[in-house]
Homo-oligomer: A and B are copies of this chain.
Amino acid sequence: MLGGGFPRSHNIVVMGSFGTGKTTFGLQFLFQGIKEGDKGIFITLEEDEESIIMDGQSFGWDLRPAVEQEQLVIVKLEPTDALSTISRIKSDLPKFIKSFDASRIVIDSVSLLNMLFETEHEKRSNLFALTQMIKETNATCLMTAEVNNKNPNASRDGLVEYTADGVIVLQYEEPKDKGEISLTLRVVKMRRTDHSRRVRPYSISDGGILVHTGAEVF
């Protein structure tokens, strides 16, 4: 249901609150491709290359060989230094993405990326230009997005879920008896596919994100 299953050149958004496993989701998507021989790019605004590799290790995915063989490139964008980061996003990054010929690209997170820009207008322009450029490379792109504080079914910026080809929503379920908090996944939108709209429980464990496709959420 996850991993390799997105239509080629789709632009997918994985939306969820902190702690729902968005980064893990992106890593798993990329690792799946690496196992199949694909090239991948992981663009991160949160963690450095070493932390990303350690994140993978904690789920049993050894990303280091792929990094060393330049099958996987981890790009760290500094969320601090807005001006120089924006110039990287506008010139170096597009050149690199076009030349590298990746099949899978992850941006973690598009919400932090948007924060680099001051105005609504700049956020939108950049987002449209970046996704357009990636779409032209034919890579499948997965973006993680933080949710709106007041509506867990909307992203922080309220835009990316409308322009994306697919949207997956990760959510907490706080059970009434206040025991274990469960996690649920919904595929809310997936253009050009006949997707299920069931609410699925999932867990984040040793092997990454595991969707309980057989289980029902009560």
Contacts and interface: CB of A to CB of B under 8 A. Distances in A.
Interface of A: 17-19, 23, 46, 51, 54-55, 58, 78-80, 82, 109, 111-112, 115, 118, 121, 124-125, 128-129, 132, 146, 148-151, 153-154, 156, 158, 161-164, 167, 172-174, 177-184, 186, 188-194, 196-199, 204-206, 216-218
16 contacts: A18-B164, A58-B192, A79-B124, A80-B125, A80-B129, A82-B125, A112-B163, A150-B151, A172-B188, A178-B199, A178-B217, A179-B199, A179-B216, A181-B198, A182-B197, A194-B204
Given A178-B218, A180-B198, A162 B125 contact: no
B177 A218 contact: yes
B177 A132 contact: no
Nearest to A22: B162
